[in-house]
Structure 1
Amino acid sequence: MTTVLDVQDVTKVYGAGDTAVHALRGIRLTVDEGDYVAIMGASGSGKSTLMNILGCLDVPTGGRYLLDGLDVGALDDRRLAVLRNRRIGFVFQSFNLIPRMSALANVELPLAYGGVKAPERRRRALAALAQVGLADRVGHEPNELSGGQQQRIAVARALVTSPALLLADEPTGNLDTRSTEDVLGVLDRLSADGRTIVLITHEDDVAARAKRVIRLVDGRVVEDRRAAPVAGPPPGPAEAEVRNR
């Protein structure tokens, strides 16, 4: 099985001397292709720092991090930017959609940055929107969509580049119960299709949807366990759409 993430004794220190803050203290973990991992921890546990390193938004102070076989620490800023665009799909708590752009245009953005021609961008963006159950919302702007629909647009945008890793940072943090269930249902189906997902969350019920739960305390991994499977299949896109109408 292919290893997508390989974190080897990673440390992260901010500052120096008496004011140094040790955010990560020798993190070791691997994530294989098709795994669905939830990373949990209280404020100050290091989970946000670890997310930034996994997403190539920051680099370790010590240790090595390999993403899809590439040593992130050996890359310059330009190559890091290319790696982020092509190998990682980001989903953030605040959606980060462009307000005056349609759902389709928002999903096309990573492909536009990557130089993909317009017809191919449209084809791939439409396929990604269909994958999250929003094929009938392609022309809607974010303010015409519910919070759950906006987050599903964000998931489609993260998928459109066919990344090695889907990295979701508190993706249900701004959603109500029904919208949370819709978004988690999409992630369940993506996992069932073989997507590699790393989810950052502080909510036990959200983490329970993952196949594996990693818990951080004071910059160290204190728990790494397989979660019990959730009973019953997740709803399909059509069923999710009926709930939103």
Structure 2
Amino acid sequence: MTPGHPVLDVQALTKVYGHGDTAVHALRGVSLRVERGDYVAIMGASGSGKSTLMNIIGCLDVPTGGRYLLDGTDVGALDERRLSILRNRRIGFIFQSFNLIPRMSALANVELPLAYGGIRPAERRRRAQAALRQVGLADRMDHEPNELSGGQQQRVAVARALVTAPALLLADEPTGNLDTRSTADVLAILDQLSLSGRTIVLITHEDEVAARAKRVIRLVDGEIIEDRRQSRVDGPPPAASLAGGVR
């Protein structure tokens, strides 16, 4: 991590799909800064531009115009190889559909980003085990995804996102496929991670999920129409389970 820099610094981003009369302006000059330790929910209806913004923040797409710095690094100045390294080391992704590898244990799934990063097997295992303990799955490490509930699968995905100690956790509708109980469990983990100082950007269309964040950004037609701090109605649970963390 780069002390002194915001984790995200997005400056006048535009994104245009197509040309001429058929051009679609998905983002229209979006600017925002996310400081270290912030917990931000980005909201918007279908077609608002929130998915486009998420893809650019996650270094999965490039803007048509504007500038994006991730943890002090100008993303637009990187070639594909360096961009891939940045994405693997600085961003932890949590997807709605979990994106776990079938026929691989929870532990092996969590180790994957470290394997891509060239971490030695013993260290990979140690860090993956610590991440799974952190999300309450110490007794499920050897289970494959089809042996886990939806909520447990999403917790494996959270552990995988954490294991590289990224600058940013980027969660795309992380509770969209979960029942009420599992949703509460996953949101409680995000609360705890926020309390421990993690920087989280959460994409959601659900007011109840956004209410857990410290800050809500609302997009309409590719523009930010609201950016507000909010007070939590219910205080987040204690962070005792994060003692030691993942390093």
Q: TM-score range by the shorter chain?
A: over 0.9
Per the alignment, residue 56 of structure 2 pairs with 53
Q: Equivalences for 1:220-239 in 2 at 5 Å?
A: 220-234=223-237
Q: Equivalences for 1:110-129 in 2 at 5 Å?
A: 110-129=113-132
- For 1:164 and 1:2, locate their aligned partners in 2 and report how far apart those are by CA, in whole Å: 11
Per the alignment, residue 190 of structure 2 pairs with 187
Tell me, yes or no, if the aligned pair for 1:33 and 1:194 is still in contact at 8 Å.
yes
- For 2:238 and 2:139, locate their aligned partners in 1 and report how far apart those are by CA, in whole Å: 18
Residue by residue over 1:44-80, the C-alpha shift from the partner in whole angstroms, topping out at 9 and shown as x without a partner, is 0000000000000011100100000111111111111
- For 2:233 and 2:190, locate their aligned partners in 1 and report how far apart those are by CA, in whole Å: 13
Q: 1:233 offset after TM fit, Å?
A: 3.7
Per the alignment, residue 241 of structure 1 pairs with none
Q: Is the partner of 2:139 in helix, strand or coil?
A: helix
Identity of aligned residues (%): 82
Residue by residue over 1:26-47, the C-alpha shift from the partner in whole angstroms, topping out at 9 and shown as x without a partner, is 0010000000000000000000
Tell me, yes or no, if the aligned pair for 1:107 and 1:154 is still in contact at 8 Å.
yes
Q: So what's the TM-score if we normalise by structure 2?
A: 0.94
Per the alignment, residue 22 of structure 1 pairs with 25
Per the alignment, residue 159 of structure 2 pairs with 156
RMSD over equivalenced CA pairs, Å: 1.2
- Confirm whether residue 133 of structure 1 aligns to residue 133 of structure 2: no
- For 1:35 and 1:133, locate their aligned partners in 2 and report how far apart those are by CA, in whole Å: 23
- Confirm whether residue 98 of structure 1 aligns to residue 101 of structure 2: yes
Q: So what's the TM-score if we normalise by structure 1?
A: 0.95
Q: 1:232 offset after TM fit, Å?
A: 3.5
Tell me, yes or no, if the aligned pair for 1:39 and 1:198 is still in contact at 8 Å.
yes
Residue by residue over 1:201-233, the C-alpha shift from the partner in whole angstroms, topping out at 9 and shown as x without a partner, is 000000000000000000000000012213234
- For 2:195 and 2:138, locate their aligned partners in 1 and report how far apart those are by CA, in whole Å: 20
In structure 1, stretches of 5+ residues that fail to align are 239-245
- For 2:141 and 2:95, locate their aligned partners in 1 and report how far apart those are by CA, in whole Å: 20
Tell me, yes or no, if the aligned pair for 1:214 and 1:221 is still in contact at 8 Å.
yes
* TM-aligned CA distance change 1:184 to 1:146, over 3 Å: same
Tell me, yes or no, if the aligned pair for 2:196 and 2:239 is still in contact at 8 Å.
no
Q: 1:235 offset after TM fit, Å?
A: 6.3
State the one-letter code of the partner of 2:141: V
- Confirm whether residue 208 of structure 1 aligns to residue 191 of structure 2: no
Q: Is the partner of 2:66 in helix, strand or coil?
A: strand
Tell me, yes or no, if the aligned pair for 2:7 and 2:35 is still in contact at 8 Å.
yes
Q: 1:88 offset after TM fit, Å?
A: 0.2
Per the alignment, residue 243 of structure 1 pairs with none
Tell me, yes or no, if the aligned pair for 2:114 and 2:124 is still in contact at 8 Å.
yes
* Equivalent residue for 1:171, pick from 161, 170, 174: 174
Q: Is the partner of 1:12 in helix, strand or coil?
A: strand
State the one-letter code of the partner of 1:86: R
Tell me, yes or no, if the aligned pair for 1:42 and 1:202 is still in contact at 8 Å.
yes
- For 1:189 and 1:2, locate their aligned partners in 2 and report how far apart those are by CA, in whole Å: 23
Tell me, yes or no, if the aligned pair for 2:5 and 2:72 is still in contact at 8 Å.
no
Per the alignment, residue 71 of structure 1 pairs with 74
- For 2:216 and 2:147, locate their aligned partners in 1 and report how far apart those are by CA, in whole Å: 35
* TM-aligned CA distance change 1:169 to 1:231, over 3 Å: same
